[in-house]
Each structure stands twice: as structure tokens, then as C-alpha cells.
């Protein structure tokens, strides 16, 4: 018999409705797995009581014959960037250690209203800054994958990066200790970890999901989205996360489509663009082959493939590394040791000294590095040369996409330039930033984009394909994701070593 | 444009982050490396381009100018590192 923890969101939801198993059984099974997986370091805080409470409510509703909520009794993981009322929310930082919000983020509130339960708060890169989960104050998340798993490639026990920043989410889903989780994506933080761990994840159009109660990194880019083991599960979670929120001034005042019901892997009549500029010099043969495989799958699903050009692609990463740190330096100014979080007050210190000491002690190296870059590019004399120029280049990048979408419906690219690397292997900050080369452009343009597993490399590690859609066309993105999922037949999974 | 340790210290002070001389020595080449790389944006001709202000067209909504929530002093102070008599407290700023 299949273990309950092998089931995804849809199967758990349907099984609870059909009384095949109880929500309590589901919660118990996942709680056991979570507590047995400490070696992954995927959780900062475990909240079994929250999951059990949601299960109890679901089972009572089943017993009473009531109409069940969309996610009744389904337990999930919550990235520790979402404020959860009464439950420690740290953004994986020391400066917010012990912070217990007195409010609930809109996205998490929506999920609880839909009947979901919380297994715990998932680890991440500190303030969502990183591509490997090596910047958390609470230690690295370790991917459940290992090179040479399932007899493919040479065996190697080096701990691998689960991707970042939503690495706790990706590791927990791939290890089957949660069926799905929330992520946030600023420059690829849902898609790249999904690709590294062989799962799916979608960043919706900017403004679909409320940012209210999500610890801010770069406000014009940050967007929440779901991560799960199937495209359908992503659609279900996204439906229950998205929606207008008057508390977020950038929230889109639009109805949430019924993405799950409209899912179809039939792409007849769709044109998929292949952007020439994503074929980087020195792209590995494996990534190139995966991309070609993806093209063939989409053709098989009925899509017409066309070549497109996004001429400003090479400027996306440098523009991102001006805009994101600039916004971060402003957003993170709120951590000053006065209203919440850590306070470091050296003997005889004045107010300025207290701010400086608190922030020095409370922020990690990467966070400080980005705040300093952001402060520098915004400082007097440099603002126009850096920030204004980056925002102009951002306009050009968005126009590139607009032009491409005048002749095609979707774009297909690899998600990341490589499979997961070993923790500690990518020590140079600039080299680490290059990991986001394929995901950042869509973030700068606010477009919906998804990663789905496409295959495994010669070391037995997962590789992802990225689909980018027009603004608000999550349905098109999910449908193309489903077409790939149906043809890739990705069933590889990490062997349990934890 | 090259950043020296004095500049790093100045930027750190603007950012309200205490750094040691050793930190500044270490950070200067790192920041130079990153800033050198992002300077390639200068080669893009943007003379006829408007900087982006909103990534997705959206109307900035206004709400009524009324108090919507209030009476939450305890909740607001709940996570304060130090609070007294219903206020946040900080080191003395007035001599």
C-alpha cells in the first residue's frame, strides 16, 4: 500500500473527502516524517499542534456531512518568511529570532481558511537572499538528493544545496515530509529550488498573491507562490493563496480563476517561443539536451515552436542586482532594535550606536553585503547612474517580453544553468548570483513562470524546465507545465538517508 | 568606479551597520567585484526609455482617510525588545 506521505495535495484532499483515510491519519503520518527528518534541517519550527487542529476540524466536518473546505485536512509547510500569528517568524535571521507576530499574513490566512494545517515553518536563505540555503542563521538546509542515487552516476555523499531561497520548502517536498509548501520568488527563489529538487513550483503574475505579512526583501519583485510535487497540486494551492487584498497596494483587483478545473495538457493552437539569448556560451550539453527534449514534448502536445529574441537578456542579472539590493536596503531599515527583534546595546551606546550594533549582530554576511550595495547605489551622486539606469533597463527587458508575446503565447527555457551543486562549492558571491540567470528576467517583468522537473543529469540529479507566460496567464503556464509533466514521466526520488 | 575601505565605512555608516576595519578590508574587493560587474548596464542606450515604475499596470487605490484599526497598543508593543509605560524605549537622545 502507498504510504499516506507519498500522496500529493489532490490525492490527500480527495481521500479525506471519500473517507479513504481520516485527516488525523494524514496529519499523524506527516508529523512523524517531519520529526524524523531533522538531518535535512528543513524546519526552523515544527508546529504539529497546528496540523492536528486543522485535521480535527476536517474530520468533524466529514463526520457531520458538511461541505468540506478546498484544502480540508491537508497539512503543508510554511516558508518562514510568512508572518504566522503566535508562531515564531524569523526570515531565517538572528535579528528576528524569537519574533512572534500578532498578525497572520494574508497568504497564510487564506490557506488556513481553506482548511489547510501547518506542519511547521520552513528554513530559507536569510531574508530570502541566496540561491543555496547557505545564508540561514539556523544552518544550511541539506537537499534530500545525493549524487549517484538510484544507481545513476558515481555515488557521492556530499551534502547538496536544495536551492534558494525556498530551500526548506523544496527539500521538505522532495523528501516527502510535506505534500506541498509555500515559497516566495524575488529572482527565482521558487523556480530554482524546485528545479534542484525535482519538484514543481510557480511564481504567479506580480500582484496575484498578497505581499501583506510577508517579510519584505525587494517589494517590486517579491511574489508568493506554491511548491508541490505535481502541476495540479500547484494549481490547487495557488487558487487558495491568490486573490485581491486591500492591505497590499500592489495587489491586483481581479477574480481568481479556477486553474485546477481548466487544467489541460493539450497545447494545440499554442505557439511556444524559444529565446535565442538563453542559449548561453558554454551551456552544458545536458542542459541543452534537456531544453531540446522539452521542445519536443511541447511539439508532441500540439504546440508550434518558434524562435524569438529577448535582446536585453544579458542585462537582467546586473539590473536585478541593483534593484533588489536597493529595495532591500530600504525595506530592511526597519530592523533597528526598537520595535521588534534583537537589540544590541553596548555599554554607553547612544541611539545611533545601538542601531549599528544591532544590525551588525543581527544580519548575516550576505544580507549585509546586499544592504551595503543597495545603500551605495542609492547614495547621493550614484542614484541615477545605477538605480535609474537599472529601472530603464528593466523597462527594456519588459518590452522584450511584450514583443515576444506579440508572436507567441509562452516561452520555454531551462530553469537553472546546472543541477544542484554541493554546499560550500560556490563560495564566490558573484558566481552564486549567476545561478538565477534564467529566472531573473521574468521576475523583473512580473510575469508568471513555473519550473517542472524535466529529467535527471548524469549524476542522477534533477533538472528543471521553465515556462514563462504572459501577464495573468497562469493557466497557460500550468497547462504547458502539465504537458511536460505528462511526457517527462519524472518518477525519480531521493533515497531516504536522513 | 572603485570602492576603497573609507567608502565602505561611509556606506556602512549610512546603512547603520557597525563594521570593523577588518570587515571593511574584506568587503572592499567583494563590493568592487560586484559593482564592476553591474556597471556593464552603462553600455545600454536608455536615452529614450522611461524608468519602470510599476511592473504590472495597476491603479493605486486610495482609501477613506479614517482610522480603520486602533486600540492595539499591547499588540504593537508585544515584540518590543524594551518597552515601558506603553512606549518603545531607546537610549537617551536628549542631553
For A337, left (φ over 0), alpha (ψ -120 to 50), or beta?
Answer: left
Mean pLDDT for B50-55 is 92
Residue A229 Cα distances to A19, A459, B72, angstroms: 23, 21, 41
Show me where the domains of chain B are located.
5-42
Q: Under a CB-based contact definition with an 8 Å cutoff, are residues A137 and A90 in contact?
A: yes
Confidence of residue B33 (pLDDT cuts 50, 70, 90): very high
Identify which of A376, A357, A370 has the alpha carbon closest to the alpha carbon of residue B17: A357
Residue ranges of domains in chain A? 4-266+451-461
Instruction: Give yes or no for residue A168 having a pLDDT over 80.
Output: yes
Residue pLDDT, tens place only, A418-477: 999 999 988 788 888 888 999 999 999 999 999 999 999 999 999 999 999 999 999 999
Measured between CA atoms, the residue of chain A closest to residue B20 is A360
Percentage of chain B lying above the pLDDT 90 cut: 77
Taking the C-alpha atoms of residue A89 and residue A66, their distance in angstroms, rounded to an integer, is 34
At residue B16, does pLDDT exceed 80? Answer: yes
Residue numbers in A near B45 (CB within 8 A): none
Are the beta carbons of A392 and B44 separated by less than 8 Å? yes
Q: How far is A275 from chain B (nearest CA, A)?
A: 20
Angle between helices A231-239 and A9-17 in degrees, nearest 10: 70
% pLDDT > 90, chain A: 95
Q: Which CATH architecture has domain A4-266+451-461?
A: Alpha-Beta Complex (3.90)
Which residues of A are the active-site residues?
Answer: 79, 165, 189
| Residue B1 pLDDT | 57
Q: Which residues pair with A462 in a beta bridge?
A: A456
pLDDT digits (tens, 9 = 90+) for A31-71: 999 999 999 999 999 999 999 999 999 999 999 999 999 99
pLDDT in tens, A199-218: 999 999 999 999 999 999 99
- A225 exposure class (CB count in 10 Å sphere: 0-12, 13-18, 19+): buried
CA pair distance A158, A136, nearest whole angstrom: 19
If 0-12 CB within 10 Å is exposed, 13-18 middle and 19+ buried, where does residue A103 land?
middle
The pLDDT score that the predictor gives to residue B94 is: 81
Contact criterion met (CB < 8 Å) for B81 and A338: yes
Residues of chain B positioned with their CB less than 8 A from the CB of A208:
none
- Interface A-B, measured as beta-carbon pairs within 8 A, has a size of 163
Mean pLDDT of A16-38: 98
Residue A351 has pLDDT above 80, yes or no: yes
pTM over 0.90? The answer is yes
Tell me the pLDDT tens digit for each residue of A74-115.
Answer: 999 999 999 999 999 999 999 999 999 999 999 999 999 999
Q: Is the pLDDT of residue B14 over 80?
A: yes
Give per-residue pLDDT as tens, A256-280: 999 999 999 999 999 999 999 999 9
Q: How far is A368 from chain B (nearest CA, A)?
A: 8
DSSP state of A105: -
Q: Across the interface, do A100 and B79 touch by the CB < 8 Å criterion?
A: yes
As a whole-number percent, the residues of chain A with pLDDT over 70 amount to 100
Contact B79 A99 (CB under 8 A): yes
Residues of B in contact with A366 (CB under 8 A): none
Lowest mean pLDDT among A139-143, A230-234, A297-301, B33-37: B33-37
Amino acid at each position: 500500500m502507498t504510504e499516506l506521505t507519498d500522496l500529493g495535495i489532490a490525492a490527500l484532499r480527495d481521500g479525506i473527502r471519500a473517507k479513504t483515510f481520516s485527516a488525523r491519519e494524514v496529519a499523524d503520518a506527516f508529523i512523524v516524517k517531519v520529526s524524523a527528518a531533522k538531518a535535512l534541517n528543513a524546519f526552523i519550527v515544527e508546529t504539529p499542534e497546528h496540523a492536528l487542529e486543522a485535521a480535527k476540524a476536517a474530520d468533524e466536518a466529514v463526520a457531520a456531512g458538511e461541505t468540506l473546505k478546498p484544502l480540508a485536512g491537508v497539512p503543508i509547510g510554511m516558508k518562514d518568511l510568512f508572518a504566522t500569528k503566535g508562531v515564531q517568524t524569523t526570515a531565517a535571521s538572528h535579528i528576528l529570532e524569537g519574533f512572534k507576530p500578532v498578525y497572520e499574513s494574508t497568504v497564510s490566512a487564506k490557506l488556513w481558511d481553506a482548511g489547510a494545517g501547518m506542519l511547521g515553518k520552513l528554513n530559507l536563505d536569510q531574508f530570502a537572499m541566496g540561491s543555496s540555503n547557505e545564508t540561514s542563521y539556523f544552518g544550511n538546509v541539506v537537499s534530500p538528493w545525493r549524487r549517484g542515487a538510484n544507481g545513476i552516476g558515481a555515488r557521492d555523499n556530499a551534502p547538496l544545496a536544495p536551492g534558494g531561497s525556498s530551500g526548506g520548502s523544496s527539500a521538505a517536498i522532495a523528501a516527502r515530509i510535506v505534500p506541498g509548501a509555500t515559497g516566495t520568488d524575488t529572482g527565482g527563489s521558487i523556480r530554482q529550488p524546485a528545479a534542484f529538487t525535482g519538484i514543481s513550483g510557480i511564481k504567479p503574475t506580480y500582484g496575484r498573491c498578497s505581499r501583506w505579512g510577508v517579510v519584505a526583501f525587494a517589494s517590486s519583485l517579491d511574489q508568493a507562490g506554491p511548491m508541490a510535487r505535481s502541476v495540479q497540486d500547484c494549481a490547487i494551492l495557488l487558487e487558495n493563496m491568490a486573490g485581491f487584498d486591500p492591505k497590499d497596494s500592489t495587489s491586483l483587483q481581479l477574480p481568481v480563476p479556477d486553474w485546477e478545473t481548466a487544467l489541460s495538457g493539450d497545447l494545440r493552437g499554442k505557439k511556444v517561443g524559444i529565446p535565442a539569448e538563453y542559449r548561453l556560451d558554454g551551456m552544458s550539453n545536458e542542459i541543452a539536451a534537456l531544453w531540446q527534449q522539452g521542445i519536443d514534448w511541447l511539439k508532441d502536445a500540439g504546440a508550434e515552436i518558434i524562435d524569438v529574441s529577448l535582446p536585453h537578456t544579458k542585462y537582467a542579472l546586473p539590473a536585478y542586482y541593483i534593484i533588489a539590493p536597493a529595495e532591500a536596503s530600504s525595506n530592511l531599515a526597519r530592523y533597528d532594535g526598537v520595535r521588534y527583534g534583537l537589540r544590541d546595546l553596548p555599554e554607553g551606546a547612544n541611539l545611533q550606536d545601538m542601531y549599528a550594533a544591532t544590525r551588525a549582530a543581527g544580519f548575516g554576511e550576505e544580507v549585509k553585503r546586499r544592504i551595503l550595495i543597495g545603500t551605495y547605489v542609492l547614495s547621493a551622486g550614484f542614484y541615477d547612474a545605477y538605480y535609474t539606469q537599472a529601472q530603464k533597463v528593466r523597462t527594456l527587458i519588459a518590452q522584450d517580453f511584450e514583443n515576444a508575446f506579440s508572436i507567441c503565447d509562452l516561452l520555454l527555457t531551462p530553469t537553472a544553468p546546472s543541477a544542484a551543486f554541493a554546499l560550500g562549492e560556490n563560495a564566490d558571491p558573484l558566481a552564486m548570483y549567476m545561478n538565477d540567470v534564467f529566472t531573473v528576467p521574468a521576475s523583473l517583468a512580473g510575469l508568471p513562470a513555473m519550473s517542472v522537473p524535466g529529467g535527471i543529469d548524469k549524476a542522477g540529479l534533477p533538472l528543471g524546465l521553465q515556462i514563462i507566460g504572459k501577464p495573468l496567464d497562469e493557466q497557460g503556464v500550468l497547462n504547458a507545465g502539465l504537458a511536460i509533466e505528462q511526457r517527462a514521466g519524472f518518477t525519480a526520488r531521493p533515497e531516504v538517508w536522513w | 568606479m572603485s570602492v576603497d575601505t573609507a567608502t565602505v565605512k561611509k556606506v556602512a555608516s549610512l546603512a547603520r551597520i557597525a563594521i570593523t576595519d577588518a570587515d571593511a578590508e574584506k568587503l572592499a574587493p567583494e563590493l568592487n567585484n560586484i559593482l564592476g560587474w553591474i556597471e556593464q548596464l552603462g553600455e545600454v542606450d536608455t536615452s529614450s526609455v522611461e524608468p519602470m515604475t510599476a511592473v504590472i499596470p495597476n491603479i493605486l487605490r486610495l482609501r477613506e482617510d479614517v482610522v480603520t484599526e486602533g486600540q492595539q497598543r499591547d499588540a504593537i508593543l508585544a515584540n518590543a525588545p524594551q518597552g515601558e509605560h506603553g512606549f518603545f524605549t531607546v537610549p537617551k537622545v536628549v542631553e
